[in-house]
Chain A
């Protein structure tokens, strides 16, 4: 990933609370940046700002020197965001969900690739069940299967990817993240999971909490 993501002097205000201000960081290829901090300290808001879903009170996020709010789709095709919500349709199967999600993101994936991605997250044999009947952890896996198809997308932004996952699945996801960083991609994520992903470019920013 040649073009770095730069956050410049970000300030986020939600309601009356200033969650953080003067926050700057740079994320370039091979970086694995973890955002830490207690509940309500603005981790999700920061990730949403970095994705362009939320406008910061002041400051700017740039991709290759240009504001992401101006780049829009040009930036979003280079971004894979998995938020708190799994973005799965209860009435569709995991395979259908993944197919739709990747088409919307501009990733071309055929049926076999979709099945392989789901199998990588341990959902082999369940890909055609409606998401409604899957457990919480299996739904999270189905959402995270997008990572297995998103190798070519340079920037991953993951909000609490490990919630509801069992140890094996956590290891799977960490492996995907390690692989992505070693390919030269960048990952920005939050987690309360104390686990060392063990990639060279690991860094951590802690948000102190609101003032």
Chain B
């Protein structure tokens, strides 16, 4: 079973490496959106410092939504998804492995590049840790929740718009708490409470979302 899960992760990473333009699109989108804000809002450092967590979070959320369509679509189109459904490993675990691989190529790069982007906002360095940690905890939640939506809308026409509608309301709490972490830290309250809530959300999402996605996939593939 472990071998099968490792095999799924390695496979997805390998496919992403061989089709790196897909992955780079997401990262580029994130970088562009975040970089446009200082240009648009103006050079007032005080204002930029305030909006920084929100901008980074909204951009990360949109970027991860941009990538969602690809979690299952290709496997569905070429028939490999059916094979995964009839594999020796429970589908929920396979989905979890796929979401992890998806996060490694579309979520982790955003987290890693965010400290550099935060420089454009003159974001205080002692608060960077909280911001990065909130993104590191938050982006996998977005991926896990998004996978349910992606599974439900698999194979539908106009899936993109429907997917956004389905997933956005569920993203909102993550966004509020995630962006709130850095805000709270900036105001001297410390972001711990928000980070702990994000951590709890991640645990719950990791435990349940893959199984919900698996059930949705079975319906979609029928």
Interface residues of A (CB under 8 A from B): 51-55, 72-73, 76-77, 79, 81, 83-92, 96, 99-101, 103-106
Contacts and interface: CB of A to CB of B under 8 A. Distances in A.
24 contacts: A51-B86, A52-B86, A53-B82, A53-B85, A53-B221, A55-B222, A73-B88, A79-B86, A81-B83, A85-B79, A86-B79, A88-B80, A89-B78, A89-B80, A91-B15, A92-B11, A92-B18, A96-B14, A100-B7, A100-B8, A100-B11, A104-B8, A104-B88, A106-B4
Contacts, number: 79
Nearest to B219: A55
Interface in B56-99: 77-80, 82-90, 94
B156 interface: no
A49 B56 CA distance: 47
**Which applies to chain B's interface (DSSP): helix, strand, loop or mixed?**
helix
Nearest to A88: B78
> Interface extent on B, as a size class?
20 to 34
Contact of B89 (A54, A73, A79, A89): A73
Given A53-B85, A77-B88, A91-B15, A103 B79 contact: no
B3 interface: yes
Contact of A76 (B77, B79, B80, B88): B88
Given A53-B222, A86-B79, A90-B78, A76 B7 contact: no
A23 B166 CA distance: 39
Contact of B82 (A77, A81, A91, A100): A81
Contacts of A73: 87-90
B79 A105 contact: no
Contacts of A83: 79, 82
A206 to B, nearest CB: 25
Nearest to B7: A103
Contacts of A92: 11, 14-15, 18
Contacts of A100: 7-8, 11
Given A100-B7, A104-B89, A87 B83 contact: yes
A84 B77 CA distance: 11
B72 to A, nearest CB: 14
Interface of B: 3-4, 7-8, 11, 14-15, 18-19, 77-80, 82-90, 94, 221-222
B3 A103 contact: yes
A89 B82 contact: no
A55 B222 CA distance: 8
B34 to A, nearest CB: 30
A99 B3 CA distance: 12
Nearest to A84: B79
Nearest to A101: B83
Given A55-B222, A91-B18, A91-B19, A106 B88 contact: yes
A105 B82 CA distance: 11
Given A54-B222, A81-B82, A104-B94, 15 more contacts: A53-B222, A73-B88, A73-B89, A76-B86, A84-B79, A87-B78, A91-B15, A92-B18, A96-B14, A101-B80, A101-B83, A103-B4, A104-B88, A105-B83, A106-B87
